[in-house]
């Protein structure tokens, strides 16, 4: 069975993790960032993936529910009577045409959500006309009288990772946000001179900027001084000031490597920082 994973780019890390786990459980996965060759026509490749896949797994979150690209993908499947399995990765308003379909809850925990998703994939498809969901059997591990659950391969998280022991994220509980950052912005050349690509991970007491092949930059939420969205005719970025443990002030300029997504990325990150610090940062 071939699975098409439809998602918002803000959920990219979670989508890639899910693709790996589903692949280890015997499914063939179509994921745009892995299946579209460099230089290929994006729309043509996406349509080819939609045509060749049997089931679509849609990651539901506030950004995916508002994404026209995601809506186009699941609408294409609906029009062709193909099976769709929405999974709830963040609380959001479910699009009307998906609201009556069977959903799998990943909010309460990734591992349990994966088990339920694998069960749902093995069940008969729901009635796409009436929206009647197939019944997913409960997973029971303790009672010997119950049928054995479907074997599921769930990768063990690295115990050495300090991030695993931290509190959950405020807005993105399962996936960091992909960003780029620098310490200054040059009107003639954008971020620079040194630009770092990585992930933003906001937890209950700290903000981690995890750069590729770099040590994480860890900032206490109490030390964040300001967060301000800066817009110009040609660009949008977030300017954040913070103090270190020696009480010296620093500046970060944060953006998105994808110019088309910068406005949404900057707004979302600013909102997350404001909620996490529970104070106005402007």
Predicted local distance difference test score (pLDDT) of residue 213:
62
Q: Kindly report the CATH number assigned to the domain that includes residue 15.
A: 3.40.50.10140
Note whether residue 135 is domain-resident.
no
Domain end among 122, 147, 170: 122
Cα 118 to Cα 131: distance, rounded to the nearest angstrom = 20
Quick check: 43 pLDDT over 70? yes
Q: What is the pLDDT of residues 228-253, one digit of tens each?
A: 999 877 789 999 999 988 888 999 99
The domain in which residue 250 lies consists of: 162-277
Quick check: 266 pLDDT over 60? yes
Note whether residue 145 is domain-resident.
no
255 plus 167 within the same structural domain: yes
Q: What is the pTM of this model?
A: 0.49
Q: Output 18 or 214, whichever has higher pLDDT.
A: 18
Indicate the number of domains in the chain.
2
Q: Which run of H or E residues covers position 114?
A: helix 110-122
Query: What Cα–Cα distance (Å) separates residue 226 from each residue in 12, 200, 229, 255, 279?
Result: 28, 17, 10, 16, 10
């Amino acid at each position: 069975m071939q699975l098409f994973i439809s998602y918002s780019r803000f959920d990219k890390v979670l989508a890639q993790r899910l693709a790996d786990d589903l692949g280890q459980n015997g499914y063939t996965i179509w994921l745009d960032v892995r299946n579209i060759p460099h230089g290929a026509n994006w729309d043509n490749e996406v349509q080819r993936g939609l045509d060749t896949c049997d089931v679509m797994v849609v990651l539901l979150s506030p950004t995916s529910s508002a994404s026209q690209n995601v809506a186009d993908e699941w609408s294409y499947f609906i029009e062709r009577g193909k099976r769709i399995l929405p999974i709830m990765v963040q609380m959001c308003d479910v699009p009307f045409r998906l609201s009556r379909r069977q959903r799998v809850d990943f909010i309460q925990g990734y591992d349990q959500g994966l088990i339920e998703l694998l069960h749902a994939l093995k069940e008969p498809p729901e009635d796409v006309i009436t929206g009647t969901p197939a019944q997913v059997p409960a997973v029971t591990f303790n009672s010997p009288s119950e049928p054995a659950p479907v074997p599921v391969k769930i990768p063990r998280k690295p115990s050495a990772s300090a991030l695993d022991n931290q509190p959950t994220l405020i807005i993105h509980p399962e996936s960091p946000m992909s960003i780029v950052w620098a310490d200054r912005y040059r009107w003639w050349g954008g971020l620079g001179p040194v630009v770092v690509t990585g992930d933003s991970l906001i937890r209950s007491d700290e903000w981690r900027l995890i750069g590729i092949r770099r040590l994480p930059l860890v900032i206490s939420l109490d030390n964040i001084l300001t967060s301000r969205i800066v817009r110009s005719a040609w660009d949008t970025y977030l300017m954040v000031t913070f103090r270190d443990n020696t009480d010296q002030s620093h500046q970060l300029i944060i953006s998105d490597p994808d110019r088309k997504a910068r406005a949404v990325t900057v707004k979302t990150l600013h909102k997350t920082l404001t909620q996490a610090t529970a104070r106005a940062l402007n």
